[in-house]
Copies of this chain bind each other. A is one copy, B any other.
Amino acid sequence: MKRIFQAFLFASIFSIVVHAQNETGILDMDEIRTPVKRKNIDIPGFGGYQVLKCDFHMHTVFSDGNVWPTIRVQEAWLEGLDVIAISDHIEYQPKSDDVKTNHNRPYQLAKDVASERNIILIKATEITRQTPPGHFNALFIGDASGYLGERATNENDRAAIQKPIDQKAFIFWNHPGWKATSVVGSYEWIDFVDVLHKEKNLHGIEVFNGTNFYKKGLDWCIDKNLTVLANTDVHGVIGYEYQLGNASRTMTLVLAREKTEAGVREALEARRTIAWSGKYLAGKEELLNNLFHACVKLKPAHFTRNDRSSYEISNESDLYFELKLKSGNGTEKVFLHPHSSQVISAKTGQKGLEYEAVTSFVRSDKNLVVEIGLK
């Protein structure tokens, strides 16, 4: 059981006994196993963009995480991600008694494995200040060795973030409401962030971190034209910390022109992202609306009786949509699980129905509204 990508699936314990003994007297049960697979996450692109599945916030033993950097690539591959950034803390290395401090190592160690698995690995770090102002991730950084690294003194918060600015990194504010219940006033649009934003040195905000949804963060992104991000911030094993059942891990959907590092950066800077966690989506209205219509298809009426017609509505993606009728005469609630269909009915003769997508947020207090055209 040694190599990461040659792990194998055990045969179902329900299959019949097959005794495949080789000449050396070893019963090699690998013969009834098959290789681990990468699960495709099906989300159709639109408008000339493909949907890249990205997690830009993760830790390893090089800061306070509990796995080797290559495990982050293995997880990403198994779970269908396209792009990851390992963002170990600069100021916080609780394992330094055992693991030598080297901010460049996580990237170096994971790079080749990522390339071989067709995962884009973006060099990153987490600038870890007191709260407020909190934590900031910097993507597309250069040399990570010259970062300030001193623990916060409030005087040096700004100095700490200067190096990624100089490196022209993409900088976003992590989990803006973290500690909000214990630290008074921390979940506000604080001066430190406001200055960064006005200098054009703040580019995005984590709207989802793990399974927390920072709804104010969504409004700030919409109002100030920032990029919405959704990341796991995983420290342990993703499969143990996130027992998500059928749901994929939290991730940022990046609408990219091409699957390259440059393509990711261009899309992030153009704010073409959607945040996804569990059944929730959050982002700009136009993008969410286009995504919905790329995923959900209504077929022409297949049955009509007594002035009422039936239609098949199909979700061709791995996302989840839950619809509540807003206007028109039709089925009140529609639950669109991944890769599944429903039959809805509507009074014959209407042009369409209007639904509120109650798990899709375009502001903290506003859901996406979609128009279902009837044919």
**A residues near B, CB below 8 A?**
1-2, 4-5, 7-18, 21-22, 24-40, 42, 61-62, 64-68, 70-71, 74-75, 78, 95, 97-100, 102, 105, 109, 115-118, 177, 180-181, 187, 209-216, 232-237, 239-247, 277-280, 299, 302-303, 305, 310, 312, 314-316, 320, 322, 333, 335, 337, 339-343, 358-359, 364
Cα separation A311 to B4 with both chains bound (whole Å): 18
Q: Is the CB of B212 within 8 A of A335?
A: no
Q: Give the residue of B36, B66, B105, B212 whose beta carbon is less than 8 angstroms from that of A4.
A: B66
Known: A12-B12, A245-B13. A1 touches B240 (CB 8 A): no
User: Which chain B residue shows the least CB distance to A109?
Assistant: B98
Q: Give the residue of B10, B65, B277, B358 whose beta carbon is less than 8 angstroms from that of A17.
A: B358
Q: Give the residue of B33, B118, B315 whose beta carbon is less than 8 angstroms from that of A302.
A: B118
| CB neighbours of A177 from chain B (8 A) | 24-26
Q: Is the CB of B11 within 8 A of A340?
A: no
Least distance between A334 CB and chain B CB atoms (Å)? 8
Q: Is the CB of B36 within 8 A of A243?
A: yes
Cα separation A243 to B211 with both chains bound (whole Å): 25
Q: Is the CB of B74 within 8 A of A28?
A: no
Q: Give the residue of B1, B9, B211 whose beta carbon is less than 8 angstroms from that of A235.
A: B1
Known: A68-B61, A236-B71. A339 touches B39 (CB 8 A): yes
| CB neighbours of A245 from chain B (8 A) | 9-10, 12-13
Can you list the 5 inter-chain pairs with the closest CB atoms, starting with the nearest?
A: A12-B12, A27-B213, A37-B340, A1-B210, A7-B241
Cα separation A211 to B61 with both chains bound (whole Å): 29
Pairs A–B under 8 Å by Cβ, sample size 22 = A1-B236, A9-B243, A11-B12, A11-B15, A17-B358, A22-B181, A25-B364, A27-B212, A28-B213, A35-B335, A37-B342, A38-B343, A40-B315, A67-B71, A74-B236, A75-B237, A75-B240, A78-B240, A115-B302, A115-B303, A118-B343, A239-B239
Q: Give the residue of B21, B32, B310, B315 whose beta carbon is less than 8 angstroms from that of A215.
A: B21
Q: Give the residue of B15, B40, B239, B303 whose beta carbon is less than 8 angstroms from that of A240.
A: B239
Known: A13-B245, A26-B177, A26-B213. A240 touches B74 (CB 8 A): yes
Known: A1-B233, A98-B100. A341 touches B187 (CB 8 A): no
| CB neighbours of A341 from chain B (8 A) | 37-38, 40
Q: Is the CB of B343 within 8 A of A116?
A: yes
Least distance between A121 CB and chain B CB atoms (Å)? 12
Known: A25-B364, A40-B339, A116-B310. A13 touches B215 (CB 8 A): no
Cα separation A115 to B339 with both chains bound (whole Å): 22
Q: Is the CB of A359 within 8 A of B99?
A: no
Cα separation A157 to B237 with both chains bound (whole Å): 37
Known: A67-B66, A310-B116. A7 touches B240 (CB 8 A): yes
Q: Is the CB of A237 within 8 A of B26?
A: no
Q: Give the residue of B34, B40, B243, B302 whose beta carbon is less than 8 angstroms from that of A316.
A: B40
| CB neighbours of A11 from chain B (8 A) | 12, 14-16, 278
Least distance between A200 CB and chain B CB atoms (Å)? 26
Least distance between A9 CB and chain B CB atoms (Å)? 5
